[in-house]
Structure 1
Amino acid sequence: MGRGKIEIRKIENPTSRQVTFSKRRKGLLKKAHELSVLCDAQIGLVIFSERGKMKEFCSDPPSSMKDIIERYCKANNIGMEDVEQQICTDITRMRRKNDEIEARIKWYTGQDLMGVSMNDLTQLEEQLEISVNKVRSRKKLLLQQQFENLHRRLEQHQAAAAEFKVGEGHMNIEEIAPYYSCDNQRNLLQLSPQLQGFRLQPSNMQEYLSLQHQDF
């Protein structure tokens, strides 16, 4: 089953646009090379990216980009001076656009705002608010997922603790915990009738003598 027809229009997302440009540029250069080899054609291809970076392709020697441009100029009655002037104009335009992009990047970080007009500041503020709302929405979603995971783990631990019983009376750990303190050591004797015959080791000499007196 073939792929559906893709609508040809500008890609708004910068990342997706750059990825598409890289993939299609490689495909275009490959097709140009295949055409030059299969048909012995003289091909010159020049590509400028959105940021002004140039990528060119020229068919195998003895052809060169200069030879192809001269042949093109002769075919269209264009002098080399006009071509050079056009190239300089394009380079100037690309540099100006590159400067604008760099300036906007600085605006997003709060730099060089002294010469920015009120209209540009308003647009910048709206774009930043949209970006902040997207970041907050993503952060809220991650926090909600973390909370749900912690709540689920807490329920699992509580269920495991409820099943864990201690002693003949199946007493919970929370019920036994008070008997482990130093002040309530004797209360351990109250846990089971079988422990009534045992006595705790005296903590000092006075208590030891008192116990000895009771034995006599």
Structure 2
Amino acid sequence: MEIQWLGHSAFRLTAEGKTVLIDPYFSGNPKFPAGAEKGFGKVDHILVTHGHGDHLGDTLSLAKAHGAQVVSIFEIAHWLGQQGYENCVPMNIGGTVTAGPLSFTMVTALHSAGFAHADGRMLYMGVCAGFVVKAGRWSVYHTGDTDVFSDMALIQRLHAPNVGLLPIGGHFTMDARGAALACNEFLDLEVIVPMHYKTFPVLAGGADEFKRLVKRGRVEVLEPGGTLTL
């Protein structure tokens, strides 16, 4: 498996001959590595954790360009259908979608979800979620935007993730201390990649404190565009 961080909460996973994008916020993302999308090849699946613009991002345009299957909460899939895109799998918390050699399980996250129109209207987009992506021996837990919560232990028990993609920036999500507590007490991860930090001034902190506080699991701090091969 290869994991590429694309800034903020956006990732590209390649495994079992498939390419998966998660929360593809490219346009307007100050940390998106320019031109990175040229190296993607065909995108097979796009997972969207929630409807905020910095996560829904470029889902619609990328899905249309690649013919990718979009996996999301029911309300986002419904909205995409209203925009004329039908290759969607609407699901909800606790459900699992099997796609050939991959599976995507939607799990709880503590956050809000809504899409802000240019005219200021806020469209309800269902609840925020995380995903556990299973491919071969790897089980990748993208938490979505969330605070730490003790039921992460149930996600670990049920789905056995061994790779974690966790926000550490604070303000909108848990900070480094909260994310480290999640890793040390509720999750049992081999590899941990921090995300959702250093994107905007309000998320200015780095990953040094998080790496220092994590006592189990190997923290891999990626630069935007950087890849990790497992």
Name the structure with the higher helix share.
1
Report which structure shows greater RCO (CA 8 Å, sep ≥6): 2
TM-score normalized by structure 1? 0.20
Name the structure with the higher strand share.
2
Tell me which structure has the larger Cα radius of gyration: 1
